Chain A
């Protein structure tokens, strides 16, 4: 049994006629101890997908219209509030983007970590355990730090506290939603190293949400690329980075700046991310796709396994006619 199985998840914002589909048929499996990256531009639905794992998207305005989220074989969408509280923290823990905003500003960090312990490991809700956790995430002089308020710490230290808090309950799955986006680059590397190290030592699975493809290569076993509420490519990380199949993934890779190269400007994907509720008919990437054909706008293509373990939502993925490289169409070219 897999740790997490998301099956054909569909989620709307709003109800009835005004409903906007934010997540449209997302299926994703995470095995115990596996690291999966969820990649995509802002607004593609990756955060709401991740929050759904513990049903954390408030309903209303959100509305789960279909699918299942099996965590340890139990459907999260059918759980009672009491059961939900048990899995939140107990099975799946979260680390969010802005550590400064995710810690409650008016409570000491020791108090906040102890709160998690009290909830999930009441016998361990002691200062010693808090200090052990802070040591685990590499906070120097934890004995004096437990008395600190969040605003007395740097962003990197705050994120370590968030991670310590997430680990307090010994979860099976750690969901890290862009955990390094708000931090500066040297701290980013430290936090990512910490996550890989903890994963190795504690054997938990990680779902890492990012829009930074650079992180994917270092961290992920598998990658899911999301676009406009759908997964467009799902693949082992190494193969995806070596040979992306979906035109969107290719374009994303092409827009990553290279350290060695001669391109004098960054290539960008032409056009904009379609707004939720305003998705184009058929393939949602078609209006921005360099290899789009007229039939692409007629029917949404299926996510098909084209090679062992590699899924692509594009019938023309084999089309090598236009190899999308750094010479991808520039912004403004239509």
Chain B
């Protein structure tokens, strides 16, 4: 078991290396760099720009840049954001935390609503409850994140019940800690719901179909034949098996949340990793872009890894080696 965990973590290294290398390559294919724009400014001499470029090795080919970056990363230094003028690490940690918060709560909302609804729909198959859930899921699957984010913003603006974008109010730093907590939560609710909504419908439909499949299984009939009550049959025997395929989806769901977070963060002005990546990308803040991509990849790989561990824990037929 522990050797499996160790092995999986080792597997992350080549993956992250590959992703970072590819990102560097793709960034180098786009013309110009962060300082190209400065050359247009007559007040800054080309010498200064050249000096700045040399300081960040931007005058070297991309693979040389890559090795400089890699050398620093090994020592725990993720480079310097040229746009923000601070070390990338401090910038990313804050943003990563925001994205994690957003995704985590979206995950809780999505799964917390989808699983009971899916079970409910399966147990009451073909009832009006089931039909209502199907309709709800159909709408949820059809509405794109972008539209939903915009609708949420409009809703927040129209009702005034929620702040319009951002992660904290302007006076956040002057609030007592209890109110700071409430302020963060208040800002979090709407983006988390929007992000959860896109994922929720799919999980619910999957939960429903998995449970319906297991309810038809012979061991469920066998459990009934032994005289077990219907609740026990559904919640112990059927659900325990139906949940296994969902744990696999959990990994994908994390990926979907992260990519969904890109859109939601950008539209709803949530200062997360997705928004930072976009900003850095447009500013050609190349080291920051690579750092963001590597972090997002890491989050994704760890998410899948956690899903695999959960599945192995839940299904005795799976042995991790």
- Select from chain B the residue with minimum beta-carbon distance to A81: B230
State the CA gap A84–B230 with chains docked (Å).
11
CB of B145 to closest CB in A, whole Å? 35
Please give, as numbers and ranges, the residues of chain A lying within 8 Å of B317 by CB-CB distance: 105-106, 149, 151
- Contact A104 to B226, CB < 8 A, known contacts A149-B316, A149-B317, A151-B317: no
We find that the number of chain B residues with CB closer than 8 angstroms to chain A is 21
A153 within 8 A of B: no
- Select from chain A the residue with minimum beta-carbon distance to B243: A106
Interface mask (B226-251 → A, CB under 8 Å = 1, otherwise 0): 11111000000100110010000000
Q: Which of A161-190 contact B (CB under 8 A)?
A: 162, 165, 169
Whether B219 and A103, one on each chain, are in contact in the complex, defined by CB atoms closer than 8 angstroms, is yes
Question: In the complex, which of the residues A56, A151, A169 contacts B221, with contact meaning CB atoms closer than 8 Å?
Answer: A56
A101 within 8 A of B: yes
State the CA gap A98–B228 with chains docked (Å).
20
Whether B228 and A85, one on each chain, are in contact in the complex, defined by CB atoms closer than 8 angstroms, is yes
- Select from chain B the residue with minimum beta-carbon distance to A101: B218
- Select from chain B the residue with minimum beta-carbon distance to A116: B226
Whether A88 and B224, one on each chain, are in contact in the complex, defined by CB atoms closer than 8 angstroms, is yes
- Contact A85 to B222, CB < 8 A, known contacts A106-B314, A106-B315, A106-B316: no
Whether A54 and B225, one on each chain, are in contact in the complex, defined by CB atoms closer than 8 angstroms, is yes
- Select from chain B the residue with minimum beta-carbon distance to A162: B222
B295 within 8 A of A: no
Q: Which of B45-82 contact A (CB under 8 A)?
A: none
Question: In the complex, which of the residues B227, B240, B314 contacts A85, with contact meaning CB atoms closer than 8 Å?
Answer: B227
Closest 8 CB pairs of A and B: A89-B227, A88-B227, A101-B218, A94-B225, A102-B222, A89-B226, A104-B219, A85-B227
Interface mask (A78-108 → B, CB under 8 Å = 1, otherwise 0): 0001001111111001101010011111111
Interface centre among B217, B219, B223, B244 (most CB of A within 10 A): B219
Whether A105 and B225, one on each chain, are in contact in the complex, defined by CB atoms closer than 8 angstroms, is no
CB of B320 to closest CB in A, whole Å? 15
Q: Which of A50-89 contact B (CB under 8 A)?
A: 51, 54, 56, 81, 84-89
**Total A-B Cβ pairs within 8 A:** 73
Please give, as numbers and ranges, the residues of chain A lying within 8 Å of B228 by CB-CB distance: 85, 115, 119
- Contact A88 to B226, CB < 8 A, known contacts A106-B241, A149-B317: yes
State the CA gap A94–B241 with chains docked (Å).
22
**How many interface residues does chain A have, given as a range?**
20 to 34
Q: Which of B296-321 contact A (CB under 8 A)?
A: 314-317
Please give, as numbers and ranges, the residues of chain B lying within 8 Å of A98 by CB-CB distance: 218
- Contact A105 to B227, CB < 8 A, known contacts A149-B316, A149-B317: no
State the CA gap A87–B240 with chains docked (Å).
26
- Contact A169 to B219, CB < 8 A, known contacts A149-B316, A151-B317: no
State the CA gap A81–B228 with chains docked (Å).
11
A120 within 8 A of B: yes
Q: Can you list 21 contacts pairing A with B, beta carbon distance less than 8 Å?
A: A54-B225, A85-B227, A88-B225, A88-B226, A89-B225, A90-B227, A94-B225, A96-B218, A101-B217, A102-B218, A102-B219, A102-B221, A104-B237, A104-B240, A108-B316, A115-B228, A116-B226, A119-B226, A119-B227, A162-B222, A165-B226
Whether B222 and A115, one on each chain, are in contact in the complex, defined by CB atoms closer than 8 angstroms, is no
Question: In the complex, which of the residues B221, B224, B226, B241 contacts A105, with contact meaning CB atoms closer than 8 Å?
Answer: B241
Please give, as numbers and ranges, the residues of chain A lying within 8 Å of B217 by CB-CB distance: 101
Question: In the complex, which of the residues B226, B314, B315 contacts A93, with contact meaning CB atoms closer than 8 Å?
Answer: B226
Given A102-B221, A103-B222, 7 additional A-B pairs, CB 8 A: A88-B227, A93-B226, A96-B218, A104-B219, A104-B240, A105-B316, A151-B316
- Select from chain B the residue with minimum beta-carbon distance to A91: B227
State the CA gap A265–B317 with chains docked (Å).
44
CB of A213 to closest CB in B, whole Å? 25
CB of B213 to closest CB in A, whole Å? 13
Interface mask (B193-230 → A, CB under 8 Å = 1, otherwise 0): 00000000000000000000000011101111111111
